[in-house]
Structure 1
Amino acid sequence: MNKKTQLIVLTLILIAVLGGAGILYSRLSAGAQTGQLSSTTASDSSTTAPDSAAPDSQSQASDSPAQESGTAPDAESSSPQEDDSADTQSDIPEAPDFTVVDADGNEVHLSDFRGTPVVLNFWASWCGPCKNEMPDFDDAAARLEGQVQFLLVNMTDGSRETLETAQAYLEETGISAPAYFDTSYSAAIAYGVTSLPTTYFIDAQGGAVARAMGAIDADTLQKGIDMILPPAE
């Protein structure tokens, strides 16, 4: 395969990835407001953050990578409620896979965690709102270890944010939640990330259930987590 053919193939792949990200972004952006959760299913209403947090979130959400901003029933007689649940699940868009690296340079993929609910947070050490919400994410990650997988994906562009600056921030603040580095823009492109922080809540089946743009507080974070945890038995 010559270089020209390789370039064409890579371009087509990039277009396909961006197209998928655009569809996901549109689904999650409908009715989205800063500092609030936006559900991907039409039957779910948006879950809002407490009023007291809204002003701060609205003033902070413009930070972006470019600028700081008895007998079981038969299958045939399944209840309407069960059918509605299946329909709702089918309405949830699939969360795109991506490749990032850990602190040792090992590749990590979102698909590695299929079967476990995931909280995916995009952040940078220069982003004030990101740092404001980070302690809540760290506390929740420790409290829910083994139940929910947290992926704190750093926007490591090699210029404004480097591995060194990101790791220095984590060490200085004592953040122990799992952090990864998007050195190849794989995650940023897959999710069309244009502002920081941005958080996705992904269920165990790999569905992107909800998204939050801008900094969120502990209560809103927990509401998002509750949306992806399996129902209590």
Structure 2
Amino acid sequence: MNTQRKTILGLILFVAFLIIAYIAYHTLLGNYTPNNIVESTTGSTSESSAKKAPDFTIFDVQGNQIHLSDFIGKPVVLNFWASWCPPCKSEMPHFNKAYATYKNDVVFIMVDLTDGQRETQKIGQAYVDAQGYTFPVYFDNKQSASDVYKIRSIPATYLIDVNGNIIKNYEGGIDAKTLTAGIDAIIPAK
């Protein structure tokens, strides 16, 4: 075979490879279901097996200190996010809808990880305002919360029961169904 035919054959094989890779990627992406649930307990919420949610200090939009321990006695959805994070942005509408549904039964603590450079309180608040989100936003200006929870990637969500125990946590973006199931797990039976 001459060099010109080898080159053409190589190009055809390369294009075929790209097409197959593209089809495989989109097929797998369409079948993807988040498998990012990390159970922090053995399924029981008893005091002996549940992990206490560590306390921390964050700030509201006015600069007032807020502590997780302020909400003992109420179920809490704790979410760490930033406005530059694509997975955070994709799950935010789910949190906003859940807040509208559960705001009378569950405390939502949406913690913007402000580092003062890439993410500032002004940038985070502007993003929330521009999107029309109504959930309360808090700012981790001193990295207290992210240090205590050892946040290394975002988004990260923790579901905390009325006794202050972490029932479930999720690493990475979650969908509406997963969020709703998690919230249902922390709301006390009436």
The TM-score, its normalising length taken from structure 2, stands at 0.79
Alpha-carbon distance between aligned partners in 2 of 1:217 and 1:197, rounded to the nearest angstrom? 12
Q: Which residue identity lines up with residue 184 of structure 2 in the other structure?
A: D
Instruction: Output one character per residue of 1:178-210: Cα deviation in whole Å (capped at 9) or x when no partner.
Output: 110000000000100000000000001000111
Would the aligned equivalents of 1:124 and 1:155 in 2 still touch at CA under 8 Å?
yes
Structure 2 residue aligned with 1:40: 40
Structure 1 residue aligned with 2:20: none
Alpha-carbon distance between aligned partners in 1 of 2:53 and 2:119, rounded to the nearest angstrom? 25
Alpha-carbon distance between aligned partners in 1 of 2:117 and 2:169, rounded to the nearest angstrom? 27
1:89 deviation in Å? 3.5
SS at match of 2:110: strand
- Say if 2:58 is the partner of 1:100: yes
* Runs of 5+ consecutive residues of structure 2 not aligned to the other structure: 1-32
Alpha-carbon distance between aligned partners in 1 of 2:111 and 2:81, rounded to the nearest angstrom? 6
Which has the larger strand fraction?
2
Alpha-carbon distance between aligned partners in 2 of 1:226 and 1:89, rounded to the nearest angstrom? 19
Q: Which residue identity lines up with residue 145 of structure 2 in the other structure?
A: A
Which of residues 177, 180, 187 in structure 2 aligns to 1:219?
177
**Quick check: which has more Rg, 1 or 2?**
2
SS at match of 1:200: strand
Structure 2 residue aligned with 1:122: 80
Alpha-carbon distance between aligned partners in 1 of 2:34 and 2:116, rounded to the nearest angstrom? 28
Instruction: Output one character per residue of 1:70-125: Cα deviation in whole Å (capped at 9) or x when no partner.
Output: xxxxxxxxxxxxxxx67x33201100000000111111110111100000000000
Which of residues 170, 177, 186 in structure 2 aligns to 1:228?
186
SS at match of 1:89: coil
Structure 1 residue aligned with 2:106: 148
Provide the identity percentage: 47
SS at match of 1:90: coil
SS at match of 1:97: coil
Would the aligned equivalents of 1:93 and 1:208 in 2 still touch at CA under 8 Å?
yes
Alpha-carbon distance between aligned partners in 1 of 2:94 and 2:50, rounded to the nearest angstrom? 26
Structure 2 residue aligned with 1:18: none
Alpha-carbon distance between aligned partners in 2 of 1:179 and 1:100, rounded to the nearest angstrom? 10
Alpha-carbon distance between aligned partners in 2 of 1:197 and 1:141, rounded to the nearest angstrom? 17
SS at match of 2:52: coil
Q: Which residue identity lines up with residue 155 of structure 2 in the other structure?
A: P
Q: Which residue identity lines up with residue 37 of structure 2 in the other structure?
A: L
Which of residues 144, 150, 162 in structure 2 aligns to 1:186?
144
Alpha-carbon distance between aligned partners in 2 of 1:100 and 1:202, rounded to the nearest angstrom? 17
Q: Which residue identity lines up with residue 213 of structure 1 in the other structure?
A: E
Q: Which residue identity lines up with residue 100 of structure 2 in the other structure?
A: A
SS at match of 2:99: helix
Q: Which residue identity lines up with residue 160 of structure 2 in the other structure?
A: I
Task: Please tell me the root mean square deviation across aligned C-alpha atoms, in Å.
Answer: 1.6
